[in-house]
Structure 1
Amino acid sequence: MESERLVYTLDEALAAVGFGKFQGLVLVYAGFGWFSEAIEIMILSFVGPAVKLKWALSSSEESLLSSVVFAGMLIGAYSWGLTSDNYGRRKAFLSMTVITSGAGFLSAFSPNYISLVFLRCLVGFGLGGGHVFLSWFLEFIPTSHRGKWMVIISIFWTIGTIFEASLAWIVMPILNWRWLLALSAVPSFSLLLFYRLVPESPRYLCLKGRTVHAHQILEKMALVNQKDLPPGMLISYEIIDVDEEYPSEYTSFLSVAREKISIFRSELPGLLLSVVIVDRFGRKPAMTIMFILAWVFLLPLVFSQSAILTTGLLFGARMFSMGTFTVACIYAPELYPTSVRSTGAGVASAIGRIGGMVCPLVAVALTSSCHLKEAIILFEVVIAVTVTCILLFPFETSGRELSDSIAVSDSKQALLAENSSSTPSP
């Protein structure tokens, strides 16, 4: 009797091992990457006013400290995407973390404004690879759990913002902004300490033909999760699928810190809402619903409101905006096959950084000239345009397996049929 030759795909292997302790460890490392990125971005809210006072900077020079970070992120998002897709997720982690932690720490010793601008731009370049952490984590999750856990990882960002605001509240009155910069670089250094324990993405390894190495990682996943892999041999597809749809002063400073902590608490309800609806309703409906609600909460602020009502409306608007952003961070890497996932998500992230560059300049210009109404109207218009774009997206990724390459689905099905037919009937 002819021997039976069984095969299984990577998605079948991930479904078999489930989401367990192994993915939990991956979640912690990737989440700490986002935690570190949130800290380095949030620090701008505290260092900017302190440096402005210390070096007698203009409002434009203060805004530039934020804009150069996002400019660096724009370049870094695309660069680290290419690095990750061509040389591996782990090598991208190492390079961008060395740059972020090194430049972040050296920022504390900046002798003048120009050197601080340069180093913060370099920090932004390293931070541009934040999407690589998401893509890497995404590639370890079974399809049925993908939406929920990709939302949960975003909680690390919120925790990072609250942590940085709390750290600034404690450090700034006692020490100064240089100490805050140095201490804020510690989480990035900690990523380097555990780098040797980080596994490469099995999807990336399969794509590069390193199926044996990918199988070793899957075996370790099964062992840690106390599950069994499907019987047989792991296979990967490298064929083309044209039918698949992928494609101030310290007193006022403490007030600001307290305000920041309060504001970023609003992100947690938004994240929890995303957990509930992202898999149930799908990516596009979830983003549409939450962004429309954000638009509704902002609309009354076009007119003067009481302080309590204004705070409540801003809380709701940020909550739903954060929920939309979280789902978008899931949706983008799901659209692309493994061969270009980090590059595609990087390009999307880079385009988003343009908004990060422009927003400080526009917001400071409008608010400093008391044009708050115009600022709200501008945000409302941007949200309306964004919702229209979401509705026009041709793809829904909820419940779909990740693609490993651009391949012909008919050929994939034919290959599976051939393997099935090669098994002798009893």
Structure 2
Amino acid sequence: MNEDRDNRTFMSVKYSKLNTDEEISAQLNSDDDTEVSVRATHSRAGRKPSDERSGNTGNGVTGTFTVEEAVEQLGIGWFQFQLWAITGLFSVADACEMMLLAVLSPVLRCDWGLSQAQVAMITTVVFIGMGVLSPMWGMLADRYGRRNNLLLASFVVWYFGLLTSFSPTYAWVLILRGLVGGGMAGMPHGFTLLTEYLPQKYRAKILIFGTVCWASGTMFEICLAAIVIPRLGWRWLLFLSSMPCLAIIVLFKFLPQSARYLVGAGRKHEALKILKYIAKTNKTKMPEGELVAETQEDRGNPKLLFSRMYMRTTFQVWILWFGTALTYYGMVLASAEILQLHNTKEAGNQGCKCNLLKHDDYVSMIVSTLGEFTSLPLNMLLIDVIGRRWTGAINFMGCSVFFLLIQLHVSQGLLTFFIFAVRGFSSGIFNFVYIYTSEVYPTSIRASGLGSSSMFARVGAMITPFLAQVLLEESLTAAVWVYASICAFCAINAVLLPIETMGKALPQVVA
């Protein structure tokens, strides 16, 4: 009887406490990943974080650490700079393809005698391709890794972008640009990869600084169009615009796999090898102890986006992405249309629809693009002070106000300033949704969350050509009020997000 009571006491201690390393050592005798994970969970009880990171458990047992803790200790260095530069090329390539739609539309309208609806369709098919394939790219990135996913996406964009320059008819332009859009849907996961290697203290600021890459790509495309279209024509512009993707393919060997993904996929030793490389590159020390395996077998499962913890967040984030793409791409496309409309009014000719962009128009587009750089200091200051949600709300409201000002009959200089302001705030919105989405979802569904959100962004982007190019031609006032109202609604939605991610570690698996 005493023996039975002793056994019950032992079992009670075993399953209810497990607070000492002696008990853990008695229960765990092998090094397989499942047991390491259990040991990591229980050995943390009653220990200080400093003891855990140093490997000192107080009883001579080797400590453990997670990828999150390793990334925090390894800090910022040459590895992150190199990764930022390579993943920045994805933003450059994406921006080139997006801005290409704005500068290409007036030329094709004149060369092929296209209607406004046909011109808008060239943009819409790109976003259809992106919207249809975005969830697929996200699931693939979560299931098979970010790295190979990015290589395939870059090749698709480069190959079909190159083929578009040889298009014999309008129909072929639509088909090939749709395929380019399908490839572009996979490129935002370069942002996911960069996010997963940044310490929490610097994460938001470095990600916001990625705006430089996007804005640089936009300015490069405008300058390229100003030089190439008058001299060589639009086909050469398409050919040269595909070159950033070729550069990515060439530099791909320097792109690492995500250590967070590798741990989640059960490939702990590969993750440890990358972390050691980071320590060597950054000239810092690895945490002592054993890397914890945090495996989730159903990673990439879209059902996890609707788990109890994330359902409300998912629906609200989708609305924000819809409004973000509608706003940003709407301003990119509308900038050329507004300038053309201004030129038509100045010339007193309401009947001619074939007005090629002039030198001054390209200058105005470049100046307005500089607005994206002005959002950098504001958002870098706000995002870690007032939080992600309020930063997003401020940018949405800024867009709303300056969209309404565009309808005023003013000089081209002041009109350029209004467009400049909208571009700046809309760029800040994109920073906000990318950062928030990458931080709020765990590694096991981070790319899936970004992919599904991107799908809703493309729905907004599919609609926006008909607002920025078709409705705007009929009524500038109606178009800007639609944009302003959607921005104001999204500002409220941003404030009401259920989770604030400022100052929090990146989650690894769905609880």
Could you tell me whether the CA contact under 8 Å between 1:290 and 1:324 is conserved in 2? yes
Query: Within the alignment, does 1:87 sit opposite 2:192 as a pair?
Result: no
Query: Within the alignment, does 1:364 sit opposite 2:469 as a pair?
Result: yes
| Equivalent residue number for residue 271 of structure 2 | 214
Deviation (angstroms), 1:51: 1.9
| Equivalent residue number for residue 411 of structure 1 | none
What secondary structure does 1:43 align onto? helix
Query: Within the alignment, does 1:262 sit opposite 2:367 as a pair?
Result: yes
Matching of residues 135-146 of structure 1 within 5 Å = 135-146=192-203
Query: Within the alignment, does 1:5 sit opposite 2:59 as a pair?
Result: no
Bigger Cα displacement from structure 2, 74-83 vs 199-208: 74-83
> In 2, distance between residues paired with 1:350 and 1:155?
24
Identical columns (%) = 32
| Equivalent residue number for residue 502 of structure 2 | 398
> In 2, distance between residues paired with 1:186 and 1:304?
40
Matching of residues 286-297 of structure 1 within 5 Å = 286-297=391-402
> In 2, distance between residues paired with 1:312 and 1:97?
34
| Equivalent residue number for residue 424 of structure 1 | none
Q: 1:228 aligns with which of 267, 285, 289?
A: 285
Could you tell me whether the CA contact under 8 Å between 2:134 and 2:454 is conserved in 1? yes
Matching of residues 29-108 of structure 1 within 5 Å = 29-108=86-165
Q: Deviations over 1:321-344 (max 9, x none)?
A: 211221111111211111111111
| Equivalent residue number for residue 386 of structure 1 | 490
Q: 1:334 aligns with which of 427, 433, 439?
A: 439
Query: Within the alignment, does 1:350 sit opposite 2:350 as a pair?
Result: no
Q: 1:126 to 1:253 in 2, by over 3 A?
A: farther
* Structure 2, unpaired ranges of 5+: 1-21, 23-58, 298-303, 315-352
Q: Deviations over 1:33-87 (max 9, x none)?
A: 1100100111111222222222222221111111111111112221211111111
AA of the residue aligned to 2:259: P
> In 2, distance between residues paired with 1:109 and 1:178?
7
> In 1, distance between residues paired with 2:222 and 2:109?
19
Deviation (angstroms), 1:266: 0.8
Q: Deviations over 1:288-324 (max 9, x none)?
A: 1222223233334454444443332332232122112
> In 2, distance between residues paired with 1:274 and 1:216?
35
* Structure 1, unpaired ranges of 5+: 408-426
Could you tell me whether the CA contact under 8 Å between 2:154 and 2:183 is conserved in 1? yes
Q: 2:168 aligns with which of 106, 111, 129?
A: 111
What secondary structure does 2:188 align onto? helix
Could you tell me whether the CA contact under 8 Å between 1:302 and 1:377 is conserved in 2? no
Deviation (angstroms), 1:143: 1.1
Could you tell me whether the CA contact under 8 Å between 1:206 and 1:236 is conserved in 2? yes
What secondary structure does 1:106 align onto? helix
> In 1, distance between residues paired with 2:177 and 2:208?
28
Count of residue pairs the alignment pairs up? 406
AA of the residue aligned to 2:173: L
> In 2, distance between residues paired with 1:77 and 1:158?
23
Q: 2:213 aligns with which of 156, 164, 169?
A: 156
User: Larger RCO: Structure 1 or Structure 2 (Cα < 8 Å, ≥ 6 residues apart)?
Assistant: 1
Q: Deviations over 1:4-45 (max 9, x none)?
A: 211111111111110110011110111101100100111111
Deviation (angstroms), 1:363: 2.2
Could you tell me whether the CA contact under 8 Å between 1:76 and 1:127 is conserved in 2? no
Q: 1:72 to 1:251 in 2, by over 3 A?
A: closer
> In 2, distance between residues paired with 1:308 and 1:46?
20
What secondary structure does 2:230 align onto? helix
Bigger Cα displacement from structure 2, 358-367 vs 184-193: 358-367
What secondary structure does 1:231 align onto? coil
Deviation (angstroms), 1:253: 4.5
**TM-score, normalising length: structure 1:** 0.90
> In 1, distance between residues paired with 2:216 and 2:101?
16
| Equivalent residue number for residue 314 of structure 1 | 419
| Equivalent residue number for residue 80 of structure 2 | 23
Structure number with greater Rg is 2
Could you tell me whether the CA contact under 8 Å between 1:169 and 1:258 is conserved in 2? no
Could you tell me whether the CA contact under 8 Å between 2:368 and 2:421 is conserved in 1? no
Deviation (angstroms), 1:244: 7.1
Query: Within the alignment, does 1:272 sit opposite 2:365 as a pair?
Result: no
Q: Deviations over 1:86-136 (max 9, x none)?
A: 111111112111110000001111111111110000001111123211111
> In 2, distance between residues paired with 1:206 and 1:327?
27
Q: Deviations over 1:115-162 (max 9, x none)?
A: 111000000111112321111110010111111011111221111000
Bigger Cα displacement from structure 2, 342-351 vs 269-278: 269-278
Q: Deviations over 1:256-296 (max 9, x none)?
A: 32222121111100123212211122100111122222323
Deviation (angstroms), 1:249: 7.3
**TM-score, normalising length: structure 2:** 0.76
> In 2, distance between residues paired with 1:89 and 1:344?
14
Bigger Cα displacement from structure 2, 174-183 vs 300-309: 300-309
Q: 1:285 to 1:191 in 2, by over 3 A?
A: same
Bigger Cα displacement from structure 2, 238-247 vs 324-333: 238-247
Could you tell me whether the CA contact under 8 Å between 1:144 and 1:399 is conserved in 2? yes
